[in-house]
């Protein structure tokens, strides 16, 4: 596999790439029983749908934390769960999601090599800061869409990453576990590695990632580290 060269920054999507979006429901299995995974999946699906729909509907931006709560309320009602205490517990855990096991070591290798690291996420700034802080990972920048009030895959989000980090799009190696995000970033002009954690098929979209990995462990070798 050919190495990725001339990289000034490694930029990561947050949810599903650095942080495990299923960990909140997984920690509530005693209360949710066999509904925990279906609920977690529906919660995530609606969360993403609301970002796209609000962007397409025009001037209807709302912070990702609000969308996260709206999506959870939809999922709870769909599964006929009426439990305010459980709802709050799920939200409290989601605010400080666990990082995937390989993330700290991979970020350390990149830092040791002098490569800038950042997360570029639809997440609200307070959500991202809390997750980064609680997981103990170190990044050069934690970039939220909050300042520009539009969600990925709008090109303005990827441009924001370049502006904050002071690099051109050709110098960015971008990682996402979300196929739609990986394809969007590649179409923008980033060098993209799709972290396909769940073995999804290729998206039927223009452009596409240059590399596909099952987790982040393969990233340093791709960069010649």
Q: pLDDT band for 20, please (50, 70, 90 cuts).
A: very high
Sign of CA dihedral 220, 221, 222, 225: positive
- What is the torsion angle, in degrees rounded to the nearest 10, for the CA atoms of residue 69, residue 71, residue 72 and residue 77? 130
Reported as a single tens digit per residue, the pLDDT across 122-176 is 999 999 999 999 999 999 999 999 999 999 999 999 999 999 999 999 999 999 9
Average pLDDT over residues 117-123: 98
| pLDDT value at residue 123 | 97
Q: Please identify every residue annotated as catalytic.
A: 13
**CA-to-CA separations, 57 to 49, 53, 117, in angstroms, rounded:** 12, 6, 33
Determine the pLDDT at residue 58.
Answer: 87
Q: In the prediction, which pLDDT does 1 show?
A: 57
Domains of the chain: 9-20+99-222 (3.40.50.1000), 23-95 (1.10.150.240)
Residues facing residue 141 across a β-bridge: 118
């Amino acid at each position: 596999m050919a190495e990725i060269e001339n990289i000034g920054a490694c930029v990561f999507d947050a949810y599903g790439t650095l942080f495990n979006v299923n960990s909140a429901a997984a920690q509530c299995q005693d209360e949710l029983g066999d509904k925990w995974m279906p609920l977690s999946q529906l919660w995530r699906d609606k969360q993403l749908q609301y970002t796209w729909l609000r962007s397409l509907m025009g001037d209807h931006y709302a912070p990702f934390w609000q969308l996260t709560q709206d999506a959870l309320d939809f999922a709870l009602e769909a599964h006929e769960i009426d439990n305010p205490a459980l709802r709050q517990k799920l939200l409290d855990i989601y605010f400080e999601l666990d990082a995937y096991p390989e993330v700290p070591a991979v970020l350390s290798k990149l830092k040791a090599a002098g490569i800038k690291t950042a997360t570029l996420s639809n997440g609200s700034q307070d959500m991202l800061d809390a997750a980064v802080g609680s997981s103990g990972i170190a990044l050069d920048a934690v970039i939220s869409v909050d300042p520009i009030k539009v969600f990925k895959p709008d090109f303005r989000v990827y441009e924001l990453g370049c502006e904050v980090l002071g690099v051109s799009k050709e110098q960015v190696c971008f990682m996402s576990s979300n196929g739609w995000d990986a394809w969007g970033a590649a179409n923008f002009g980033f060098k993209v590695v799709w972290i396909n954690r769940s073995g999804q098929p290729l998206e039927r979209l223009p452009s596409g990632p240059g590399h596909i990995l099952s987790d982040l462990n393969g990233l340093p070798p791709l960069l010649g580290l």
